[in-house]
Amino acid sequence: MTAAVSEEAALELVVSLHRLLRALRKARPDPGLQPTPLIVLALLTEYGPSRIGVIADRVPCSQPTVTAAVANLESAGLVRREPEQADGRAIRVAITDSGSRTMSRVAHSEAEALAERLGSLSPQDVQKVLEVGHLLRRLTDAD
């Protein structure tokens, strides 16, 4: 069974999510870290070393976008390129210790900012938001 959702309701949710993400980004210790490189770091943290094409599919975005993000992250010492174990000609991207520390700092600062915002809601509303978080994750993993 598929629930009918109006385009207007979907747009309202999209705008609200963008506004919330913008507010959380302001809480970052490194405001220079843009969304795509941050997603790349998060994916490398979650899945481990990966090829550019795999990262692009997971973001999702184009391979040239990921290549540029990886180049910037590499020059900042947050990721490194390494040969693929099974095929030495292929390259995969791995997060460095510095990248892991950066990812942790960003995640904690954003979680702290979100927890502060959640503190303004009733316990019932907080529970609803946390339940929606699991559903949003399912939507992002649907691809």
Torsion angle of the four alpha carbons 66, 105, 111, 46, in this order, in degrees rounded to the nearest 10 = 50
Confidence check: pLDDT of 78 > 50: yes
- Pairwise pLDDT comparison (106 vs 63), residue with the higher score: 63
- Pairwise pLDDT comparison (121 vs 134), residue with the higher score: 121
In a domain, 46, yes or no: yes
In a domain, 110, yes or no: yes
In a domain, 9, yes or no: no
In a domain, 5, yes or no: no
Mean pLDDT of the chain: 90
In a domain, 109, yes or no: yes
CA 49 to chain centre: 16
In a domain, 98, yes or no: yes
* 70: CATH: 1.10.10.10
Does the reported pTM lie above 0.85? no
The pLDDT value recorded for residue 1 is 47
In a domain, 48, yes or no: yes
Q: What is the pLDDT of residues 110-127, one digit of tens each?
A: 899 999 999 999 999 999
β-bridge pairing 79-83 and 91-95: antiparallel
Q: From CA 10, how far away is CA 102, in angstroms rounded?
A: 33
Mean pLDDT of 115-142: 90
**Domain count of the chain?**
1
In a domain, 94, yes or no: yes
Confidence check: pLDDT of 65 > 60: yes
Domain encompassing residue 72? 29-116
30 pLDDT band (50/70/90 cuts)?
low
